[in-house]
Structures are given as C-alpha cells and as structure tokens.
Amino acid sequence: MKDRMALATRKLGPFEVTAVGFGCMNLSHGYGPPQPREVAERVLRRALDLGVTHFDTAALYGFGINEKLVGDVLRDRPAHVIVASKCGLFGRDGKRVIDGRPESIRALCEESLRNLHSDRIDLYYLHRWDKRVPIEESVGAMSELVRAGKVRAIGLSEVSAGTLRRAHAAHPIAALQSEYSLWTRNPEIAVLAECQRLGVSLVAFSPLSRGFLCGWPARPTDLADGDLRRTMPRFQGGNFEENRRLIAPLQALAGRVGCSIAQLMLAWVLARDRCTLVIPGTTKETHLAENCGADAIRLDVATCAQLDALFPPGKASGARYPAATRVEHDTEEFGS
C-alpha cells in the first residue's frame, strides 16, 4: 500500500516483527464499551496497511470476542504477520477466572484456535500465573501444545525474574509481557536483566501509561462506567491530581524533540534495550499512525537522561492495580 510505513523490526522469540506492535484489547475490552464491529475491523486493517506485523489478543478480552474479531480480520494474513494470544485468565459466566491447570490450558487453547480460525497460535502466553499450580506444570502443558503443533512459541505475562527462570528451565520462553512505561518501571528491578540473560523478548504493554500521560482522561469522571481504570488507584482522588502534574514537563520535552507525547514515551521504552518491543493499543486510526511513527524517533543520551530524571522509579502516585488484583501478580515492584 502507498501509505505503508518502513517500520523497524526486532526479534520476538523466533519471529521477526515490527518493534511497534498493536495491542488489540482496547477494541473489545477494558476501557469502556466495545467498539462497533466496523470501527474495530477498520482499525485492525489500517494497522496491517501501515505495516504492523505483531498483533496481541487474549482469551480474556471481551471473553473471546476480541479473539474472534482478530481471527475474522487476520485469518488470511501474510505468513510474516504474527498473532499472539493468552491462556490462564479468561471469562466464564460473566466472571473473570484464573486457571493454570493443564486441562484448562488445553481446553482454552482449542477454544482460541476456533476463535482465531487457525490450526496453530504463533505465540501463546500464560496470561497470569495461577499460584495454586506450579509454574512448571502450566508451562509443561503449554510445551505439549508446542509438540502437538498447536502453538509455535510460549510466553509469560506479569511474572518475576525468578518465575521466568523456573519456567524457562521447563521449556524455552520466547517472550515476557510486563507493564513498562515512564510511570511503571518495575521491569528494571530484575525482569529486564533476566530477559537479556536468557534471550527472552520483553513485550511492554500499556507503554502509554494507559493514556494518562498523553492527557486523557482530563478528570476521573471522563472514564466510562465499567472502564477498568476507574478501579486503579493512579486514576483516583489525590493520586489523579498529583499525576496530572507529570504531563506538563513531558509535553515540553516532546515539543523540544519535535514529536507527540505518545511518540516520546514509545521511543523511550524502545531505547531501553534491543530485546524490548511495545504493543500500544488504540481505537483511533490517527493515534495508530502516530504510534507507528515513534519507530523513527531516536532519542539522544541527554533526552533519555532528562526523562529518567523526570520519571524516576516510583514517581507515579498510587498503585498500578487495586489490592484485590495486585495479589494476582508476581512482578517485582518499586512500591507501586
């Protein structure tokens, strides 16, 4: 296509994909009502037109609806376009369920294959570690899916460096997803270094601070009913107001670099290490093109130092998740 961008690529386990991928969750799940089907399809096709080759979905998103959307639009995709999905966290009877038992992983994989209109999943993550089940057991079940030809590579999400080591000893782990952005720097405690040591790709989700540092929402009441950000301490009360103060200096620095705040944040994450990729999500085609444009931005040492000074670990006010959700994670944290 004439508007296809010459996007740089990086290793994602055994695959070579665009460093800026596309997180599909927002189209169906999490941030308010799902997008109308025609809008969601148009955004996905636009990502393909721009040259994006890494799409990320999960069984949880829309309780299967997002996988079906991705499957319908990308079922005839070129071979170099990679689709990742996730197991271990899903929806049943209107409820969110964490289940890492081998039989659950096998059953959910079959469901995801049907949703994606495929006979194999390129990259299959354990979305959350079910702490009632040894990580080796869950990964062992996923390795059986690899041997059966139903999965090409295995990933993990939101786990610590220690858990990554244990899992990698059971079966090679291709990628680890973790929230990583200017206001969430937890991977720098240990996970980023462990990924480098093991040759595991680090896939940064929510690299745009869930939209906050881009200037939205302007107030908590802008968030729709059911938007998961309403439950997050960083988007509440005094934390919200304190975090709003972080936007102005970031905006000024983006102006000096000559890019948008979103592009500056994505470029910063990509500059941390060559093993790192980003999967920003959006429901708007203009934002999609803007995010892809971050691929061309090269931050100098001085700019990176300024950003590090503006956003040291722990700078954001409030925890990432409410207490009930935080116990589900296994990540190291800088106190929030």
Query: Which residue from 259, 242, 275, 274 is spatially nearest to 307, judged by alpha carbons?
Result: 259
Distance CA 252, CA 37 (A): 37
The helix/strand/coil state of 202 is strand
Rounded Cα gap, residues 28 and 165, in angstroms = 33
Q: What is the rounded CA–CA span in Å between residue 45 and residue 251?
A: 30
Contact partners, residue 305, CB within 8 Å, separation at least 6 = none
SS3 sequence of 257-292: HCCCHHHHHHHHHHHHCCCEEECCCCCCHHHHHHHH
Q: Is residue 96 helix, strand or coil?
A: strand
CA distances, 67 to each of 72, 107, 109, 113 (Å): 8, 15, 12, 9
Q: Is 155 helix (H, G, I), strand (E, B) or coil?
A: strand
CA-based nearest residue to 21, from 201, 202, 280, 273:
280
The residue annotated as part of the active site, out of 31, 61, 124, 180, is 61
Question: For residue 270, how many other CB atoms are within 10 A of its CB?
Answer: 23
Alpha helices in the chain (DSSP H): 37-50, 65-74, 102-115, 135-147, 161-170, 191-198, 237-244, 247-257, 261-272, 285-293, 301-310, 323-326
CA nearest neighbour of 204 among 6, 4, 12 = 12
Tokens found for residue 47: 């990502």
Write down the residue that tokens 């085609």 correspond to.
Answer: 285
180 catalytically annotated: no
The structure tokens listed for 295 are 């691929």
- The catalytic residues are 61
